[in-house]
Structure 1
Amino acid sequence: MRNRTARTARTVGLLVVVALAVTGCGGGDGAGDAVRPHDGAQRAREVADAWDGSEAAGIWRAGYHPMSDAVQPPADAFHSGADKLAYGSENFVLRGGLPRTAPKNAQVRWEEGGSLTLPLLSARSAYAAVARGGGDVGRPHLTVTGARLGAMTVTTSRGAATVPAWLFTLEGYATPLRRVALRPSPLPASPVGPIKNQPTELSPLGGLVKVAGGGRSVTVVATHGACDDGPVVKTLETRGSVVLYASVVGSKKGPCTSELRGGPVTVTLDRPLGDRVLLDAHTGRPVTDPSTLFWSGKRRKEEN
């Protein structure tokens, strides 16, 4: 998963923000908002029972939900430490024109069969999703000189798929940077509400980092405080879902700040994730890629 390595620090930081937002959220997604205090295994079972065979699970499986990074760097990346830093900080400078016209829709095509037609992102929107570092020429940056429409392979909740992608030409590189040209499908409303304002041993997950090892390895951001020994993530696997439940271990004596920290934790599954829904026991929601947060914000802005 070389394409994710340069962005790990930024991803972890973003996902801790997500966890803070989830922790402070007062509303639930559906029935079950009044949650009794549970230990982790009990809560995981409750979430699995609510999702398995539910309408929400059916909607999830019918949609396009990426489980890998939407960006793939050039095959010969990177030529220098400065270029690697620029990629990790998403600092790009545009010195060329981007296509103004493109098809209205495009298809996701899954390797195991099936397809889905979705609106195609413009080259400008895809570039905005890549270049979030401010375009500062005074610090390490990568220069984009043009773009064309192509394709790339990504991991999704329904397995590997070929999706349309904008191929951005980078100054000094022989192969392009690829960015998926689709937004993820909207997340279904959860059939179980989050844990809120009640004693619990669970911590919210920050989000998904990657799925690897043929679906047997899942890496997520797990959050914890400043005065413990770190996070532990356990799993409950069913036929229709994989519920992750995170908690912290140990405690440290002395003054303690209230900051929320996070870092990647990898769990190994008994069998490949496949099309099972990956869920967070604390929130009762699917564990998603951080790009979902970006596009959710874009949608809200466009609707207002």
Structure 2
Amino acid sequence: MRRTAALLGLPLLMIVAGCAPAGSDPAVDAPGTDPRQDAFVQRATEVADAWRPPPAWKSGYVPLQDPTVLVGDPRFTGETKIAFSNGWYRDQIELPTAKPADSTIRFPDGTLTVPLVPAATAYGQLDQGDPPPCDGRPKAPTEPKLPGGGPTIEPGPDGPVSSNAQTACVPLTVTAVKLGTAPVRTSRGEAQVPAWLFTVEELAVPVARLAVAPQAVTAPPEPAPPADPAPKGLVSAQDVQSVDGTELTWRLGVGSCDTGITPLVQERDNVVVVGGSVITATGVCNAMLKLEPVTARLKAPLGDRPVLDALTGAPLRLASS
């Protein structure tokens, strides 16, 4: 069992979405109105100009999300979400070990034939181990009594409260598997990729594990960040949360006491560079990193353009559910 806890020749555009709700049109601001915005424009320009993807970016298979994919709404409970996030599974079937025939990835701009791994191999990658025992979740109810043998205290406002009660640690039960496809964000846009679809008793939809053999997968290129340190007040993008036409949502890594969180975007016809600005707290604050979702509306649908982080230059991956 497994797992534990992304216009040459066109003017540069900066979109400031501020605190606008998802789906609203962001305001467009010109350089010179805010030092942090000006710093972002300069930084994003350097990142976009330095973007030099390898040939495989347009001809091979470069996935930009996790190889475990949910094909629809799983209708998670608290327990099943924890199990999925940590890769806790148990199989109730005989998993095929035979290597399947080569199959096809279908991109918006064409196809690519790739070798696949057996279902048993895919399950071994999916399954990250057994859940730990859960303190505070006894196998059978107990009846706590008052000191001196008094009456039983039933659970309720007057009953004792366990200090170590927690969500049950339960695995997901795999009851069937078949070869199919799953939608995956790649360097060539959203593709239909061969995947082993595992039926899970506790979920409403199958869990897909991409079946493409490792030798056919190309890793994203190493980022080329600008030489200068990141300007004060700018924060990096951690991942892309969703892409819906022209609406792009990503997560910023901010301090838990930061305020004035503002998404920033520079859009070109071959890349989109994102980041954000914050007002850093001056008083005492912890050093905890908080992932803050922000949304902006692009001038055109994202399509196959990579989303790059303005601070590191790295192409961003689509976040897992």
Deviation, structure 1 residue 205: 1.8
In 2: Cα distance, 1:141 partner to 1:232 partner: 39
Residue matched to 1:162 = 192
In 2: Cα distance, 1:195 partner to 1:203 partner: 16
Deviation, structure 1 residue 201: 3.5
In 1: Cα distance, 2:300 partner to 2:233 partner: 27
1:200-219 pair list within 5 angstroms? 200-211=232-243, 213-214=244-245, 216-219=246-249
With over 3 angstroms needed to count, the CA separation of the structure-2 counterparts of 1:195 and 1:127, relative to structure 1, is farther
Deviation, structure 1 residue 278: 1.4
Residue matched to 2:49 = 49
Deviation, structure 1 residue 276: 1.8
In 2: Cα distance, 1:97 partner to 1:230 partner: 54
Q: Secondary structure at the match of 2:197?
A: strand
In 2: Cα distance, 1:79 partner to 1:280 partner: 30
- 1:235 to 2:268 alignment: no
Residue matched to 1:63 = 60
Residue matched to 1:276 = 305
Residue matched to 2:276 = 246
Residue matched to 2:218 = 185
Deviation, structure 1 residue 85: 4.5
Residue matched to 1:123 = 119
- 1:261 to 2:258 alignment: no
With over 3 angstroms needed to count, the CA separation of the structure-2 counterparts of 1:136 and 1:94, relative to structure 1, is farther
Q: Secondary structure at the match of 2:105?
A: strand
Q: Secondary structure at the match of 1:188?
A: coil
With over 3 angstroms needed to count, the CA separation of the structure-2 counterparts of 1:85 and 1:227, relative to structure 1, is closer
Deviation, structure 1 residue 219: 2.0
Q: Report the number of matched residues.
A: 247
Question: Gapped runs of 5+ residues in structure 1?
Answer: 1-9, 11-37, 292-304
- 1:101 to 2:78 alignment: no
Q: Secondary structure at the match of 1:39?
A: helix
In 2: Cα distance, 1:74 partner to 1:108 partner: 17
Deviation, structure 1 residue 161: 2.1
Deviations along 1:239-270, whole A, 9 cap, x unmatched?
A: 1111112222x343531222222132222211
Tell me the C-alpha RMSD between the 2 structures. Answer: 3.2
In 2: Cα distance, 1:195 partner to 1:223 partner: 21
In 2: Cα distance, 1:61 partner to 1:119 partner: 19
With over 3 angstroms needed to count, the CA separation of the structure-2 counterparts of 1:76 and 1:229, relative to structure 1, is closer
TM-score, with length taken from structure 2: 0.65
In 2: Cα distance, 1:131 partner to 1:180 partner: 13
In 2: Cα distance, 1:271 partner to 1:151 partner: 28
In 2: Cα distance, 1:223 partner to 1:193 partner: 17
With over 3 angstroms needed to count, the CA separation of the structure-2 counterparts of 1:247 and 1:75, relative to structure 1, is closer
In 1: Cα distance, 2:199 partner to 2:237 partner: 35
Higher relative contact order (CA 8 A, sep 6+): 2
Tell which deviates more after alignment, 234-243 or 127-136: 127-136
Higher helix proportion: 1
With over 3 angstroms needed to count, the CA separation of the structure-2 counterparts of 1:189 and 1:100, relative to structure 1, is same
With over 3 angstroms needed to count, the CA separation of the structure-2 counterparts of 1:137 and 1:175, relative to structure 1, is farther
Deviation, structure 1 residue 218: 2.0
Paired letter, 2:58: R
With over 3 angstroms needed to count, the CA separation of the structure-2 counterparts of 1:61 and 1:202, relative to structure 1, is farther
With over 3 angstroms needed to count, the CA separation of the structure-2 counterparts of 1:196 and 1:42, relative to structure 1, is closer
Q: 1:87 aligns with which of 73, 84, 87?
A: 84
With over 3 angstroms needed to count, the CA separation of the structure-2 counterparts of 1:199 and 1:163, relative to structure 1, is closer
In 1: Cα distance, 2:267 partner to 2:76 partner: 42
In 1: Cα distance, 2:226 partner to 2:94 partner: 46
In 1: Cα distance, 2:193 partner to 2:98 partner: 18
Tell which deviates more after alignment, 252-261 or 166-175: 166-175
In 1: Cα distance, 2:71 partner to 2:173 partner: 13
Deviations along 1:145-174, whole A, 9 cap, x unmatched?
A: 342222223343323322111011323668
Deviation, structure 1 residue 221: 1.8
Paired letter, 1:205: A
With over 3 angstroms needed to count, the CA separation of the structure-2 counterparts of 1:119 and 1:246, relative to structure 1, is farther
Identity %: 36
